């Protein structure tokens, strides 16, 4: 079979306007800007307000990517949405986005892989394109973890922010594949270290309704230890699959979960600061949306120059993790 190559056409993002600083959090938690900044690198996060929700941000991020690529909703063949806290379980966020952008020819569905969602979505999207059956695939990541955090647990609630991002991919007409290598992984035996239950109630004829648990729990130390050995392995494997070495890569665009984890990866790759994209200070951990938001801002601020090569990497609940070596084309996100 002749696999079709993939072109990354555009990247979009959408972030709530409301900003909560570390100092703001000291009003409800026994914490400090000093503790949060030094342990995580986070200074503030954007949080959904009122009726804002993950569908809304997902729609906005999807429209942004379409606009940047100059493509209409009708030209989209598939929409894959990575979300761990959809506004509705059904209809899926994918179907809501399909309606909102008029993508009447697209299939649409959601996947749940927490913070690694966009790397998994990229794997699904490129597989769709590689068969030749789908041409334009819209990948969206959207999470509003703020609605599911335990705001009395200072060990987890300070880490997250809300937001959405999108990547539009298409069949590469010139034969050059922009996804040079990609690996995704999962280890369910580590699942207990980050959880968000959606336990419903039984039929009232069986037993009375009980207090539901929709809160995120996290054993930060275990997650940290796990990530510090799996993520470098994943990146090195990806580089080997791409037949490249760290020196061939221009930028590391990592999941923005903790600055110390990012610095660990940076040291392993022996990258200087100008090669590592960091915006955790502004947004915190935006879960599945985090990597494309960093990529988007890296390009917009001029820190990322194109054409270039980047490593994208993410990890999170599952545990699941993954990396991709991608080509960033000259015109990426620059409307002609």
What does the binding site for ligand ACO look like in residue numbers (CB under 6 A)?
A: 31, 35-36, 39-40, 114-115, 154-155, 158, 194, 220-221, 223-224, 257-258, 285, 287, 316-317
Which residues are designated catalytic?
115, 255, 285
Which residue, 104 or 225, is less far from ligand ACO as judged by CB? 225
CB of 218 to ligand ACO, least distance (A): 6
How far is the C-alpha of 235 from the C-alpha of 198, rounded, in Å? Answer: 33
CB of 136 to ligand ACO, least distance (A): 29
CB of 258 to ligand ACO, least distance (A): 4
CB of 219 to ligand ACO, least distance (A): 8
Which residue, 108 or 157, is less far from ligand ACO as judged by CB? 157
Which residue, 179 or 223, is less far from ligand ACO as judged by CB? 223
Q: Which residues contact 204 (CB under 8 A, 6 or more apart)?
A: none
- Enter the tokens of residue 68: 């940047």
Q: Are 28 and 151 in contact (CB under 8 A)?
A: yes
CB of 287 to ligand ACO, least distance (A): 6
Query: Residue of minimal CB distance from ligand ACO?
Result: 316
Which residue, 18 or 217, is less far from ligand ACO as judged by CB? 217
Q: Which residues contact 166 (CB under 8 A, 6 or more apart)?
A: 11, 12, 13, 58, 61, 62, 64, 65, 138, 139, 140, 141, 292
Residue 63: phi and psi, rounded to 5, are: -60, -35
Which residue, 73 or 322, is less far from ligand ACO as judged by CB? 322
């Amino acid at each position: 079979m002749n696999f079709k190559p993939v072109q990354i056409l555009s990247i979009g993002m959408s972030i709530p306007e409301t900003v909560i600083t570390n100092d703001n959090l000291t009003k409800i938690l026994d914490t400090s800007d000093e503790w949060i900044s030094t342990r995580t690198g986070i200074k503030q996060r954007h949080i959904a307000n009122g009726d804002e929700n993950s569908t809304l941000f997902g729609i906005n991020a999807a429209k942004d990517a379409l606009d940047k690529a100059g493509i209409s909703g009708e030209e989209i063949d598939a929409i894959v949405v990575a979300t761990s806290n959809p506004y509705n379980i059904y209809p899926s966020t994918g179907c809501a986005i399909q309606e909102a952008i008029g993508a009447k020819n697209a299939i649409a569905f959601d996947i749940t892989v927490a913070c690694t969602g966009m790397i998994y979505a990229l794997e699904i999207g490129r597989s769709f394109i590689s068969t030749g059956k789908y041409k334009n695939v819209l990948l969206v990541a959207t999470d509003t973890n703020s609605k599911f955090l335990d705001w009395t647990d200072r060990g987890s609630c300070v880490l997250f922010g809300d937001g959405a991002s999108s990547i539009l991919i298409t069949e590469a007409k010139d034969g050059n594949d922009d996804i040079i290598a990609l690996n995704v992984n999962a280890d369910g035996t580590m699942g207990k270290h980050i959880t968000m239950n959606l336990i419903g109630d039984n039929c009232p004829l069986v037993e009375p309704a009980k207090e539901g648990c929709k809160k995120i729990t996290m054993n930060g130390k275990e997650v940290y230890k796990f990530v510090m050995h799996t993520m470098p392995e994943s990146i090195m494997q990806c580089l080997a699959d791409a037949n490249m070495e760290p020196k061939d890569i221009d930028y590391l665009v990592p999941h923005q979960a903790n600055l110390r984890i990012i610095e660990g990866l940076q040291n392993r790759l022996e990258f200087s600061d100008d090669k590592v994209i960091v915006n955790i200070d502004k947004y915190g951990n935006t879960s599945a949306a985090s990597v494309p938001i960093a990529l988007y801002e890296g390009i917009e601020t001029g820190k990322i120059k194109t054409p270039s090569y980047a490593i994208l990497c993410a990890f999170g609940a599952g545990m699941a993790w993954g990396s991709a070596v991608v080509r960033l084309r000259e015109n990426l996100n620059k409307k002609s």
